[in-house]
Amino acid sequence: MTTPVLSVRNLTVEIPTRRGVLRPVDGMSFDIAAGETLGVVGESGAGKSMTGNAVIGLLDRPARITGGEVRLKGARIDNLRPEEMRRIRGKRIGMIFQDPLTSLNPLLTVGEQLSETIRLHLGVSEAEAGRRAVAALDEVGIPAAKARIGSYPFEFSGGMRQRVVIALALCAEPELVIADEPTTALDVSVQAQIVALLRRLCRERGLAVMLVTHDMGVIAEAADRVAVVYAGRLAEIGPVRDVIQTASHPYTAGLMASTPLASAGQRRLRQIPGAMPRLDALPEGCAFHPRCERADAQCRQDPAPTVTGCGGRAACWYPLTQSAGEDVA
């Protein structure tokens, strides 16, 4: 069996506070194979971005990994020293952030930023780095790349800046790319272009991609599999078509029912009642049970099973659908 590019097992992130220890990521497990895009979706505060930051080693203190492991091509990376992780970050793992203005240095031209990254991680000459920088901009669809290499980030539109960020993430030829809400600040037409670009580049290069988003439309267009996250835990994982058409977890079904297409002909969009609980006020039992119409005494008393523990694709005592033998990987 081929070793996945990224393997996350029982990952737990904790944040100590005056009110106690919070767990924004609680026992997360998934794999991503070469050439595969895993979409990670959920409400704001569900733990999507925190999971990506934990994988790449960019947790802000006092947040820290307290359990589980992260492996890149079979080698464990969550226990590396900061200087060792810095050598992996950018070279073997690329990152695409939500806001390109905050991830690009406004005082350096895009060419200088690309060339610096290429020289640092690939060890090529300055002239070769410059040539590769132009090629990287051209590959992501920047018009007149050779002429724009000396431009500053503010001289690009939002969509063009995001293309520059994608070029920056891919220029060192990584094996894994983590894209954190890469289309949120863009209009719909530009979103579609960025999603198509990211999907094409990753398929051509055989990259593993972790795509963090709250947009099910982006998931449907760009991802091969989808992981649904709720209150720091994996609620459901499976092929995109299966999860969208036949959701197994009640939370996933609620997300799908609240889309405009599912609510067609109605005056108001359907919604999941209530709100996701705060991390310092998680209910007993399954965290979703206060909002779930199917919840019973077991759901209110016992923590929800893990995906592997219940032998299916949804971490639920009473899934809407169930296929025997399905696993987190």
**Cα within 13 Å of Cα(27), Cβ side:** 14
**Percent of the chain whose predicted confidence (pLDDT) is above 90:** 55
* Interacting residues of 157 by C-beta distance below 8 A, sequence separation 6+: none
Q: How confident is the model over 45-66, as pLDDT tens digits? A: 899 999 999 999 999 889 999 9
Q: For residue 186, what are the contacts with CB-CB under 8 A and spacing of at least 6?
A: 158, 159, 162, 194
Q: Which residue, 295, 54, 24, 311, is CA-closest to 180?
A: 54
The answer to whether residue 324 scores a pLDDT higher than 70 is no
Contact 302, 286 (CB under 8 A): yes
pLDDT of residue 327: 44
Tell me which residue has tokens 């209150």. Answer: 231
Quote the tokens at residue 253. 């079904």
- In the predicted model, what is the mean pLDDT of residues 22-27? 94
Task: Check whether 153 has a pLDDT greater than 80.
Answer: yes
Q: What average pLDDT does range 146-160 have in this prediction? A: 91
199: pLDDT confidence band, cut at 50, 70 and 90? confident
Tens of pLDDT, residues 99-112: 777 889 999 999 99
**pLDDT beyond 90 at 130:** yes
Q: What's the mean per-residue pLDDT of the chain?
A: 88
What's phi and psi for 309, nearest 5 deg? -65, -30
Q: How far is CA 73 from the centre of its chain?
A: 18
Instruction: Record the tokens describing residue 236, joined without a space.
Output: 């459901």
The more confidently predicted of residues 305 and 76 is 76
pLDDT the model gives residue 64: 94
Neighbours of 309 (CB within 10 A): 11
Chain segment 231-248, per-residue pLDDT in tens: 999 999 999 999 988 999
- How many residues comprise the chain? 329
pLDDT at 326: 45
Give me the pLDDT at residue 264, please: 58
- How far apart CA 314 and CA 310 sit, in angstroms, is 8
pLDDT digits (tens, 9 = 90+) for 257-307: 877 665 556 666 778 888 899 988 999 999 999 999 889 999 999 998 888
Please name which of 314, 95, 106, 109 lies closest in space to residue 198, comparing C-alpha atoms. Answer: 95
Q: What distance separates the 2 farthest-apart alpha carbons in the chain?
A: 68
Q: Where are the alpha helices (DSSP H) in 41-187?
A: 48-56, 82-88, 100-103, 110-122, 126-139, 145-148, 158-170
Question: Whole-prediction pTM value?
Answer: 0.89
Q: What is the pLDDT of residues 78-99, one digit of tens each?
A: 999 999 998 899 899 999 987 7
